[in-house]
Amino acid sequence: MISIRTDLAIEAKQAYTEENKRELDGVRVDEENDGDIKVTTVTIESDEAGKELGKPKGHYITIDFPEFTSYDGECMNELSMVVGKVLKRLADVTEEKLVLVVGLGNWNVTPDALGPKVVEKIMVTRHIKQIMPDALESHVRSVCALAPGVLGITGIETGEIVKAVVEKVKPDLVICIDALGSRKLDRVNRTIQIGDTAISPGAGVGNNRMQINEKSLGVKVLAVGVPTVVDAATIANDTIDMVLDDLVGKVERGKEFYSMLQKVDKNEKQMLIREILTPFVGELIVTPKDIDTIIESLAKIIADGINIAVQPEMEMEEINKFLNPKHYNSLINYASELDRKSVV
């Protein structure tokens, strides 16, 4: 089993290849490009391969996008369309199906607030379809959303809250959104992973909690995540790797110093860095300084992608109109009036 800490299947696969100098049987990788956006599908086809990578068997689709995307409205819209297309591949949402969107994470900690912020932007319709079904077109799917918080806030395991809601609401599909941890600096806030397997809240920073998957909930689960943090040891390790690679390119082949550089074991080096840093900084987790702006942008990108996927017969313009506070409030007021009259 690989020794690195990462939530991304593509990084786990790359780490295995680097450590063992060979490809892992039972893992298939497919790549495609959509303009500046790269979509990589890692399919873990066997339990043995899943055990080696520390990931359950299934599909893991990684969407890599340019750094400037979070600051460009047009690029954000293009990325949302790609996210929507990927989710449509994994989820068959027919008119009669109910979708539950779960935003995992701590809303008080910006890098971990991605899930709750996505939930704020989801087009929720279940309550309207129940109270006043005639107010919505028949092709509008039933969607509800939940931000269950974290164990430290509620005192309840997130998985227990989600399971209780699933048992009561009985959705046909659960889509979970969470912040992830990455092994590579260049993937932080620049990669979206979508999978059809399990999600374990807090796993990216070493806090493994109850898994949320089809086995525990009894319904299909899709997991959407973005790496928003990286640990300090990884930053130090990547910096030294870049220095070593630069030196290897400059030193004459055959020299003793060149041979010494070539013999440096990257895994041993990373373990040494972690041992040295831990007494001084502990488990230090780092995030970019502009994380507030980035999280807001990523939340909109993912929420729009989910809305596109679960409302396939609606245009984005219609969805945005529904999410407009004035339009939404008018629907709610109408529903409240109908409810009041029915009581009278």
DSSP notation for 279-292? HHH-S-EE--TTHH
- Per-residue burial over 14-35, b = 16 or more CB atoms within 10 Å of its CB, e = otherwise: bbbeeeeeeebebbeeeeeeee
CB proximity list for 267: less than 8 A, separation 6 or greater:
3, 19
**What does each C-alpha distance from 149 to 227, 247, 301, 330 come to in angstroms?**
19, 47, 21, 29
* Spatial separation of the C-alpha atoms in residues 87 and 140, rounded to whole Å: 17
Q: Can you give the pLDDT at residue 189? A: 94
Q: Can you give the pLDDT at residue 244? A: 78
Q: Which stretches in the chain have pLDDT values below 50?
A: 344
Helix ranges (DSSP H) in 143-255: 151-154, 158-169, 214-217, 232-250
CB proximity list for 258: less than 8 A, separation 6 or greater:
248, 251, 252
Reported as half-sphere exposure (CB side, CA atoms, 13 A), residue 64 has a value of: 13
Q: What single letter denotes the amino acid at residue 243? A: V
Q: Can you give the pLDDT at residue 180? A: 92
Q: Which residue has the tokens 């729009």?
A: 304
Helix (H) or strand (E) holding 90: helix 73-90
Q: Can you give the pLDDT at residue 1? A: 53
Q: Can you give the pLDDT at residue 139? A: 86
Residues in the chain, overall count? 344
Yes or no: say if 294 and 288 are a contact pair by the CB < 8 Å rule: yes
Parallel, antiparallel, or unpaired for β 58-64 and 27-34? unpaired
**Yes or no: domain 93-233+285-343 corresponds to CATH 3.40.50.1450:** yes
Q: Can you give the pLDDT at residue 331? A: 60
pLDDT digits 0-9 by tens, 306-319: 999 999 999 998 89
The structure's pTM equals: 0.86
Q: Can you give the pLDDT at residue 337? A: 62
